[in-house]
Amino acid sequence: MDALRVGQRFDPSGYDDNEIFLRVVPRAATWRLSYMKYTAPTAEDFQRLKNELGHTGEQMAELFAVAGGQQWRKYTGGVTPREMSPQMLFFGAARLVLSDDELKRVLAKMREIGAQIEID
């Protein structure tokens, strides 16, 4: 996708809500528009992961930084399960695959940027 000029309008028709990701990158009076195609895992996908990990709902909530087991169930049940944002999924997946040292480096970068964060 081409970069947009300042003041130029982007027409989102043809994209659904999960396909558009805006990234503003000031570069010689132009801003870039990036997009990604994302489809959230289903409730069944999350249940399979929970079973593979042998986790409780509370442990899954902690993994994905959800308030607790009751909130986690909103992603795994009910008439219309909630879709997980790509950011939340990325966070949980990173915690599953990164080593402790790699995760510490990411957290250090977040702090350097200005966040205050501690993870047990």
Q: How far apart are CA 75 and CA 62, in angstroms?
A: 14
- Domain residue limits, the chain: 1-39, 43-113
Report if pTM > 0.85: no
Res 4: pLDDT: 57
Quick one: what percent of the chain has pLDDT higher than 90?
62
Measured over the CA atoms of residue 7, residue 13, residue 15 and residue 16, the dihedral's sign is positive
Res 29: pLDDT: 45
| Average of per-residue pLDDT across 69-91 | 92
| Average of per-residue pLDDT across 105-117 | 95
| Average of per-residue pLDDT across 7-30 | 55
65-79, pLDDT tens digit by residue?
A: 999 999 999 999 888
What DSSP line would sit under 31-73, residue for residue?
E---B----PPPHHHHHHHHHHHT--HHHHHHHTT-S-HHHHH
Res 114: pLDDT: 96
| Average of per-residue pLDDT across 2-15 | 60
23-67, pLDDT tens digit by residue?
A: 544 444 455 556 778 899 999 999 999 999 999 999 999 999 999
